[in-house]
Amino acid sequence: MTAPEPAVVDPTHSLPPHTQVLIAGGGPVGLATAVELGRRGIACVVVEPRRTVSRARPRCKTLNVRTMEHLRRWGLADRLRKHAPLPVSWSQDVVFCTSLAGRELSRFTGVLGLAPDGDRFAEVGQQAPQYVLEDVLRQAVRELPAAGSSSARRSPPSARATTWCPSPSRTTPGNGPS
């Protein structure tokens, strides 16, 4: 499985003059907020200084059950799993051993919600680095039209969730959305 293409924000993309919600920070929380709001037809803009998602920022290895359930609700769980480096079935145990090729001392199976457990949860967790999650969420934000809700009808027709990364020429104070 390969990681998705890094989501790069078009530097020529202009910041909309008005938005209903301005989200400062396009980490998992900001992007998830944009997906949630955008799906409800609420226009929002994520302002994030990182133009691309860095692979050199090692954070997060396990997306837990609740995170995966949110992704399922947004229709993104399968997409995330497709881009994860390991299928979940390869990473459900924790093994203690004397060395990588040494003797196994102890094994815990079905850890961290990575294996199905009856009807306790709708989605098992997934081992995946944070940059995969952020790429999937950035892509989802870019795909979101704002449509269908009463909030959307009050919004400009072009309203949608947008990720906007300031470039040096666009950081003029007072140039931002209201």
Ligand X SMILES: Cc1cc2nc3c(=O)[nH]c(=O)nc-3n(C[C@H](O)[C@H](O)[C@H](O)COP(=O)(O)OP(=O)(O)OC[C@H]3O[C@@H](n4cnc5c(N)ncnc54)[C@H](O)[C@@H]3O)c2cc1C
Is residue 48 a contact point for ligand X (CB under 6 A)?
A: yes
Residues between 57 and 76 that touch ligand X (CB under 6 A): 59-62
Is residue 113 a contact point for ligand X (CB under 6 A)?
A: no
In the list 17, 49, 75, 157, the residue contacting ligand X (rule: CB under 6 A) is 49
DSSP 8-class letter at 8: P
In the list 111, 130, 145, 151, the residue contacting ligand X (rule: CB under 6 A) is 130
Binding track over 7-46 against ligand X, x by CB under 6 A: -----------------xxxxxxx----------------
Interior angle at CA 83, CA 93 and CA 32, nearest 5? 95
Q: Rounded CA gap, 8 and 114, in Å?
A: 31
In a 3-state reduction of DSSP, which class is residue 103?
coil
CB-closest chain residue to ligand X: 27
Residues ≥6 apart with Cβ < 8 Å to 26:
34, 46, 47, 48, 50, 134, 138, 163, 165
Q: Which residues bind ligand X (CB under 6 A)?
A: 24-30, 47-50, 59-62, 130
